[in-house]
Amino acid sequence: MHIHILTLFPNMFTGPFSESIIKRAIDQGLVEIAIHNIRDYTSDRHHVVDDYPYGGGPGMVLKPEPLFAAVAAIRGECGESEKGEAELPVILLTPQGRLFNQRATEELAKYEELILICGHYEGVDERVREHLVTDEISIGDYVLSGGELAAMVVVDALVRQMPGALGSEESAGEDSHSSGLLEYSQYTRPQSFRGWEVPEVLLSGNHAAIARWRREQSLLRTIKRRPDLLERATLSDEERMLLEGMRRGED
Ligand code: ADE
């Protein structure tokens, strides 16, 4: 997968993209991440990227020209000029976008290539939204200083579900949300810590019992913390009955 990020602050990405799972995925060639400085796509002497809002008001607005020029350059560079928006999504990170979740990650993972635009200041010129951007994503109902941290979140979520990105000791399949439920509780050594014991079943070696216990833990945790997720989770008949029991407080 090839991810292009348009930003005014390229240095913000240095740390997060040169550590851990993302770094390994880059080194393995699973993902290529190109950071483009929006300022490099200005054509005036002072490299102006923003301007005052028409109609007045506080803050500055990102100008359309550098963003259109950057996207055109990327499309040309990768021989994508023929590709329509369906093949090369241009995604604006903004608190006004649709909420990002695991399902959105799976959708985006289908693309070979995508462009993420990090908004800044008071916003971006509306013509960018109307005529350049194909999708708008928010990572939560709060306002960040810019789209950079949000872009990092999207990249991280995308990379960790790529086949081969996680080592054998790590697994995306067990992650919270990957099955539509929150993850079960995990324990490691010591078996007894300050008098708090690891649940017996995990020491039993009975894999079927452990799997059942974990699924129950996932259900319990989800019903307590995020009952909204249960509406869309895929559950067996047995799990539905278990859930009914939990709901009635029988467990
Ligand atoms: N830019 C500022 N706030 C944001 C958010 N919550 N999600 C995505 N991009 C943003």
- Nearest CA among 3, 4, 38, 7 for reference residue 147: 7
- In whole angstroms, give the CA distance from residue 50 to residue 13: 21
Residues in contact with ligand 1 by the CB-under-6-Å rule are 93-95, 119, 138-140, 142-144, 146-147, 150
Asked if 2-160 and 176-250 have one fold, the answer is no
- Strands 113-118 and 2-7 turn out to be parallel
Known active-site residue 95: yes
For residue 143, the CA-to-ligand 1 centroid distance in Å is: 6
- Write out the DSSP string of the chain: -EEEEEES-GGGGHHHHTSHHHHHHHHTTS-EEEEEEGGGG--STT---EEPPTT--SS-EE-HHHHHHHHHHHHHHTT-TT--TTTS-EEEEEEEEEEP-HHHHHHHTT-SEEEEEE--TTEE-HHHHHHT-SEEEESSSS--SSSHHHHHHHHHHHHHTSTTSS-TT--STTSTTTTSSPPPP---S-SEETTEEPPGGGGS--HHHHHHHHHHHHHHHHHHH-HHHHTTS---HHHHHHHHHHHTT--
- In whole angstroms, give the CA distance from residue 163 to residue 178: 14
Question: Which tens digit of pLDDT belongs to each residue from 152-171?
Answer: 999 999 999 999 999 876 67
Of ligand 1's listed atoms, the one at least distance from the Cα of 142 is 6
> Which residues of the chain have a pLDDT value below 50?
none
Its CATH class, for the domain covering 176-250, is mainly alpha
Q: Are 135 and 97 in contact (CB under 8 A)?
A: yes
Question: Which tens digit of pLDDT belongs to each residue from 135-149?
Answer: 999 999 999 999 999
Residue 122 has phi, psi (to 5 degrees) of -80, -15
Of ligand 1's listed atoms, the one at least distance from the Cα of 139 is 7
β partners of residue 3: 33, 114
Residue type for 213, please?
Answer: W
Known active-site residue 163: no
How many CB atoms are closer than 10 A to CB 120? 23
Among 125, 148, 160, 215, the active-site one is 160
Among 10, 16, 89, 95, the active-site one is 95
Domain 2-160 listed as CATH 3.40.1280.10 = yes
Domain locations along the chain: 2-160, 176-250
Predicted pLDDT of residue 93: 98
Q: What residue's CA is closest to ligand 1, atom 4?
A: 95
- Strands 32-37 and 196-197 turn out to be unpaired
Predicted pLDDT of residue 238: 86
Kindly state the tokens that stand for 168.
């054998």
Known active-site residue 122: yes
β partners of residue 136: 92
For residue 132, the CA-to-ligand 1 centroid distance in Å is: 18
How many CB atoms are closer than 10 A to CB 18? 10
Predicted pLDDT of residue 179: 81
